Chains A and B, each alone.
Chain A
Amino acid sequence: MLLTQDDDAPVRGLPPGVDETTEGDGDVAATPAFRFTKATRELVRTAPGRVKRRQRETSERAAIAARNILDDLYTEGFLDPVNREQGLYVEAFRGFAGGARKRAEARPGLLTAGPRAGDRYERILPLSGRIDTRILLSRGGKPTLLLSVVRFRAAALGPEPATLRSRGQFFFERVGGSWKIVSFHITRTDAPREAT
């Protein structure tokens, strides 16, 4: 059976019958694997001259670190079944720094599947995830600021099926020796799905 979304595009990767609601079978499902797909990456210089190879490599490591944080955020926040069942997403925000973390924790419904996701959904499966990154280099060529723009979609299956859509802009800086989210803007445009 092919499951369709509101926008008429077929959902990839869902086996037949997955959209049917089921009674709990006692087993907790595994967390679906998910990684954002790199779409674009741009280095922005603040000094004249070319970017040297070592600077590119350092920037690449920074971009990977940022992507790992976002992979974890969206996996913990949307796909981890234990988190969803409990409506708690503590580990989702470990990539945020200071004030950004407090703000994120105060708005779990926007940055995760929400505190009541266990009542509404039986499973959440990733549909797509794309990441575009810009890296600001200091005059010495060190990555100093990263901006990652992500687009994430997931199919939430259960009594109130929905397509979960999140568009996020995340700024990263080095805090205490590691990259952390210091500023963000999130837009959620979830939409109900027709149960079939």
Chain B
Amino acid sequence: MRRRRLVAAVASLAAGVAGLGVATLQATPAASVPLLQIGEAHAEFAPSLRGDGPIFILILGSDARPGTPLERGLCDSIHVLGINPGATRATILGIPRDSYVPIATGGTNKINTALAQSGPKGMVDTVEDLTGVTLDYYVLTGFDGLKRIFDALGGLKIDIPYSFEGHEATSFQEGRQTLTGAEALEFTRTRKNLSQGDFDRSMNHGRVLLAAFTQFRAELRKDPTALFRWIAVGMRNVATDVPLNELLTLAFASSEIGPKRVTNLVAIGSIGTAGGASVVNLPSPNPVFRDVAADGYVLPENISAANAPSG
């Protein structure tokens, strides 16, 4: 796993940085600079991302119950977040928890066991071996962490693409709505009532991540103090190796990638069995992994319907 230092660079004058301001005055030659026009005017700057290549963060959700450390639960939510600053694009790639893969510490098993066997590092190594992606950081949370995050932020604003019954009797209706922490957790945990089971569930995990990102950008645009609230709430409820100062750079630069430039997809495989248990067999070589590993993102036109289940 690579530990990278994000390089902050000067944003171009034309960039709409940080989403905090509006149009600025045009530059004119010094000799003809008019007196400052009385009225309202703005200036702004925020650091932007400029690295040597894409940035990859592994986002994990543990099913650890109370009394069990997060790092020893089964990892039922596994997503690679690829960010390409130069292309101002990103991709959220879900890996099904039942993917039958070589585990970095030895043997072959469902990928969600790698966390319980050897903690976040083992999970990182396993995903790197599977996808060919070199991960920069990981972020890990659990049931309670997820609930606390969204409750502290006043709920999760999300556009649900289709109606379905949650696994604990909540009915989710199609459309824009705000979910409480408990509702967001149930949204992410529901599998059996979805037509493509765990593939759909993984897609919903990606929807939650994208909705949270969209909400963060919108709140930051209105009020820069939102940065503090989001980072504080996030850091208090996750385990991560992202240094705080680099997290801040990512947060500042979030405005450079609009939600429409983030693709959400799931690595699809065939259903099989291994040792009597149902597993997912991912194709190898895997074109989706190769695409993401190359530059951190997959263009919408390169996503097959299979990789973007919609219930």
What residues make up the interface of A, taking CB atoms closer than 8 Å to B? 44-48, 98-100, 102-104, 106-107, 109-111, 114-116, 119-120, 134, 136, 138-139, 144-145, 147, 160, 162, 169, 171, 173, 182-192
Residues A116 and B35 in contact, CB atoms below 8 Å apart = yes
A190 touches B36 (CB 8 A): yes
Pairwise interchain contact B36-A116, C-beta atoms closer than 8 A: yes
| B23-43 contact mask (Cβ, 8 Å, vs A): 1 or 0 | 011010010010110111111
Give which listed residue, A48, A100, A169, contacts B224 with CB less than 8 A. A169
Q: Are A48 and B236 in contact (CB under 8 A)?
A: yes
Q: Known A98-B8, A183-B252, A186-B44; judge A144-B35 contact (CB<8 A).
A: no
Q: Are B21 and A182 in contact (CB under 8 A)?
A: no
Q: Is the CB of A44 within 8 A of B36?
A: no
Main secondary structure of the interface of A (DSSP, over half): mixed
- B residues engaging A (CB < 8 A)? 8-11, 13, 18, 20-21, 24-25, 27, 30, 33, 35-36, 38-48, 224-225, 227-229, 231-232, 235-236, 244-245, 248, 252
Separation in Å of the B14 CB from the closest CB of chain A? 12
Inter-chain contact total with CB atoms closer than 8 Å = 120
Contact B41 A46 (CB under 8 A): no
What distance in Å separates the Cβ of A32 from its nearest Cβ neighbour in chain B? 21
Closest CB of chain B to A115's CB: distance in Å? 6
In angstroms, Cα B246 to Cα A138, docked, is 12
Are A147 and B228 in contact, with the CB atoms below 8 A?
yes
CB distance B46 to A44 under 8 Å?
A: no
With A99-B8, A145-B248, A173-B248 as contacts: A110 and B224 at CB distance below 8 Å: no
Tell me the bound Cα distance from A44 to B224 in angstroms.
14
Are the C-beta atoms of A47 and B235 separated by less than 8 Å? yes
| A100 to B21 CA separation, bound complex (whole angstroms) | 15
Measured CB to CB, the closest approach of chain B to A173, in angstroms, equals 7
- Of all chain B residues, the one with the shortest Cβ separation from A107 is B43
Complex CA–CA separation, A164 to B225 (angstroms): 25
B residues less than 8 Å from A169 (CB atoms): 20, 224
* Least CB distance, A185 to chain B, in whole angstroms: 4
Note all chain A residues with C-beta closer than 8 A to B36.
Answer: 109, 114, 116, 190
Q: Enumerate chain B residues within 8 angstroms of A189, measured Cβ to Cβ.
A: 39-40
**Residue from B35, B39, B40, B231 in contact with A136 in the complex, judged by beta carbons closer than 8 Å:** B231
Distance between B233 CB and nearest chain A CB, rounded to angstroms: 9
With a cutoff of 8 Å between Cβ atoms, the chain A residues found around residue B245 in the complex are 144, 173
B224 and A116 within 8 A (CB): no
Residue of A nearest to B21 (CB): A185
8 contacting pairs across A/B (C-beta < 8 A):
A100-B47, A104-B45, A110-B42, A115-B33, A116-B36, A145-B228, A185-B21, A188-B42
